[in-house]
Amino acid sequence: MISMSSLAEGYRAWVFGASGGIGSALTALLEGDARCAAVHSGARSPLPADSKKHPFLFSLEDEESVRRAVDTAIVDGPPDIVIVATGRLHGHGLQPEKSMRALEADALMESYRINAIGPALIAKHVLPKLPRDRKSVFAALSARVSSISDNRSGGWHAYRASKAALNMLIRNCSIELAVRNRNAVCVTLHPGTVDTNMSKPFQSHVPNEKLFSPAVSALHLLRVANDLTPEHTGRLIAWDGQVIDY
Ligand SMILES: NC(=O)c1ccc[n+]([C@@H]2O[C@H](COP(=O)([O-])OP(=O)(O)OC[C@H]3O[C@@H](n4cnc5c(N)ncnc54)[C@H](OP(=O)(O)O)[C@@H]3O)[C@@H](O)[C@H]2O)c1
């Protein structure tokens, strides 16, 4: 259970990527928060609706679909919290590279398209819609492995680089946003290592206590989002509230 006490009573949440492991857990927790009036949950394929959950369709690879989704959801009122829980590490021509010998232009471009460009286009359409008279949060899920200063093991070239690009794009947007909206917080978040389809092939080296269920990760992420203040804007922040150096 979560109570997003720092957001307005009757707040509205938008989740892009609500079909994913972490995205669906975030949607469920937000829906269960009595303070939350509505969760607009976006995916590539239709999701079930209920009295509080309003599904919408979008694709990261189709900016027009993002524009349409925002135009539809905004009719209900501006969002107090927006989480972009999309991403791709493997599948559809992507396989995390173990060595620079495996670098391929198409895979690099695909990774940038999904992990950096798509979320940045969501930010482009969503950030101007955040309310200016109260706290609001825009958070795109990134990953600790995007930190350049923390990278000691190498590998996973496309994923690391595309998430580092995401951090830069969101930080850049946050600087522009701060000029117009002093109450908004715009960050990237690291959810921990989470038991989802994305991490499945890479879990063998992860100790049990370090592998979160999607529900536990989502709870941590929302607690962090609840504690965020405008001083955090532009940062990459982990599930435990720790600010990660880029
Ligand atoms: N799991 C981890 O251990 C871990 C660790 C660090 C960071 N992260 C980050 O956390 C976020 C969520 O990951 P997850 O573990 O929940 O992964 P997941 O279960 O694989 O979910 C990925 C989500 O991204 C969506 N997506 C992919 N391509 C899309 C596109 N072209 N258009 C629209 N949506 C698209 C998927 O939609 P479909 O259902 O339609 O495919 C799904 O909703 C990602 O940004 C990931 O990089 C995860």
* Domain presence at residue 165: yes
Q: At 183, which CATH number?
A: 3.40.50.720
Tell me if 41 sits within 8 A of 15, measured CB to CB.
yes
Sign of CA dihedral 122, 113, 141, 178: negative
Q: HSE of 129 in the Cβ direction (CA atoms, 13 Å)?
A: 24
- For 165, the token pair is 């690009």
The pTM is what?
0.98
* Domain presence at residue 187: yes
Q: What is the predicted pLDDT for the residue at 205? A: 87
Q: What is the predicted pLDDT for the residue at 113? A: 98
DSSP state string for 212-230: E-HHHHHHHHHHHHHH--G
* Domain presence at residue 59: yes
Those residues of the chain that have pLDDT short of 70 are none
Q: What is the predicted pLDDT for the residue at 111? A: 98
CA of 180 to the centre of ligand 1 (A): 30
Q: What is the predicted pLDDT for the residue at 93? A: 86
For ligand 1, mutation pick of 83, 88, 156 (most atoms within 8 Å of CB): 88
Nearest residue to 103 (alpha-carbon basis) of 150, 61, 161, 152: 161
CA of 18 to the centre of ligand 1 (A): 9
* Domain presence at residue 213: yes
Total number of domains constituting the chain: 1
Q: Which residues line ligand 1 (CB under 6 A)?
A: 17, 19-23, 43-45, 59-61, 85-88, 114, 141, 143, 191, 193-194, 196-199
Chain centroid offset of residue 241 CA: 15
Q: Which residue has the tokens 């937000």?
A: 30
* Domain presence at residue 6: no
Q: What is the predicted pLDDT for the residue at 176? A: 97
Domain around 239 = 11-244
pLDDT in tens, 163-196: 999 999 999 999 999 999 999 999 999 999 999 9
- For 246, the token pair is 């880029």
Find all residues with CB under 8 Å of 233, minimum gap 6, and list them: 174, 177, 178, 184, 185, 186, 187
For ligand 1, mutation pick of 14, 15, 22 (most atoms within 8 Å of CB): 22
